[in-house]
Amino acid sequence: MPAKSNIRSLATTHRKNKNMSKKKSNAIKVATDGACESNPDGPGGWAFIATVPGLSEPIKISGGEESTTSNRMELTAILKCLEHFKEPKEFVIFSDSQYAINCITEWMYKWKKNNWKKGDGEDVKNVDLLEQIDTLISFHNVEMVWVRGHSGHKYNEIANEMAENEVQYFRPSFKL
C-alpha cells in the first residue's frame, strides 16, 4: 500500500474534535463547507474559515459555480484553503462531509493506483479536484476531522452560511 504522506484522519465525535483541536496549537484550524441547490447541476457555493496562529481574525473566503454538485463544492472548499497558503503549513481541517474526508484519506490512494478508476471499473468523479488536492497534501501537513453538520461547531456553521450565500449569488435569477 502506498504511503499516505502528509494526511491523517480522525473519525471522532464532535466533543472529541473540540479537545483535539486544542492540542495542535501551531496548526491552522480550518472549517470548510460546500452547498448545492438542485443537486446535481444546480448553483453551488463553497467556503472556508481559517484560524491562523498569530492573526487576530480568521481568514474567510468563499466562492461558487453556476452548475455543480454538493460533493464538488465540499472538495473545492478544501482545495481553495490549501491553495491559499503558499508556504508549507500544518492544518487541522474540519469538514462535515464524510465524502470529502473519505476521498482524501482513504479512497484517493486506491483510485490513483487504479488509474482513477473505482473498484467496479467506473471513472472516479471529481478527479480534477482530487489530483490538485493530492499535490497540495504532499506539500502541506493535513489532518482531516469530521464534524457533524449543523451541530453547533461555530466555524462550520459560519462556513455553511457563507457557502449558502454563494449558492444564492450563483442562482440564475440573481444575476443582473
Residue indicated by cell numbers 497534501: 137
Give residue 23's pLDDT band: very low, low, confident or very high (50, 70, 90).
low
- pLDDT tens string 110-146: 999 999 999 999 999 999 999 999 999 999 999 999 9
Determine the structural domain holding residue 71 and report its residue range: 7-169
- Asked if residue 1 is part of any domain, the answer here is no
- Asked if residue 176 is part of any domain, the answer here is no
- Asked if residue 2 is part of any domain, the answer here is no
Cα separation, 25 vs 28, whole angstroms: 8
What global pTM score does this model have?
0.86
What pLDDT does 69 receive?
Answer: 97
- Asked if residue 131 is part of any domain, the answer here is yes
- Asked if residue 141 is part of any domain, the answer here is yes
Cα separation, 109 vs 57, whole angstroms: 35
Check if the beta carbon of residue 93 is closer than 8 Å to that of residue 101.
no
Sheet holding 42-51, edge to edge: 7-10, 141-146, 90-95, 28-36, 42-51, 59-68
Q: What is the CATH number of the domain that holds 26?
A: 3.30.420.10
Name, in order, each residue with C-beta under 8 angstroms of 22's C-beta and a sequence gap of 6 or more: none
Domain count, the chain: 1
Mean predicted lDDT score pLDDT of the chain? 87
